[in-house]
Amino acid sequence: MIDPSSVTHSVQLAVAPVFFLTAVAGMISAVAGRLARIIDRARVMEDRVRASTDEEFIQRGLMELNYLRKRGRIANWSIGLLTLCGFLIGLTIVFLFIGQAWVAEQGHHVAVFSFLAGVVSFIAALACFMWETVLATDLLNFNVLEMDRKMRH
Task: Give the pLDDT confidence of 129-146 residue by residue, as tens digits.
Answer: 999 999 988 877 666 555
Q: Is 24 exposed, middle or buried (0-12, 13-18, 19+ CB in 10 A)?
A: buried
Q: What is the DSSP code (8-state) at residue 52?
A: -
Q: Please tell me the predicted confidence (pLDDT) of residue 125.
A: 97
Q: Please tell me the predicted confidence (pLDDT) of residue 12.
A: 67
pLDDT-derived band at 112, boundaries 50, 70, 90: confident
Q: Please tell me the predicted confidence (pLDDT) of residue 61.
A: 92
Q: Please tell me the predicted confidence (pLDDT) of residue 129.
A: 96
Residue 5 CB: number of other CB atoms within 10 A? 8
% residues pLDDT > 70 (the chain): 76
Residue from 117, 109, 41, 111 nearest 75 by CA: 41
Q: Please tell me the predicted confidence (pLDDT) of residue 54.
A: 93
Q: Does 149 score more than 70 pLDDT?
A: no
Positive or negative, the Cα torsion across 116, 119, 125, 126?
negative
Residue 50 CB: number of other CB atoms within 10 A? 9
Q: What is the DSSP code (8-state) at residue 153?
A: -
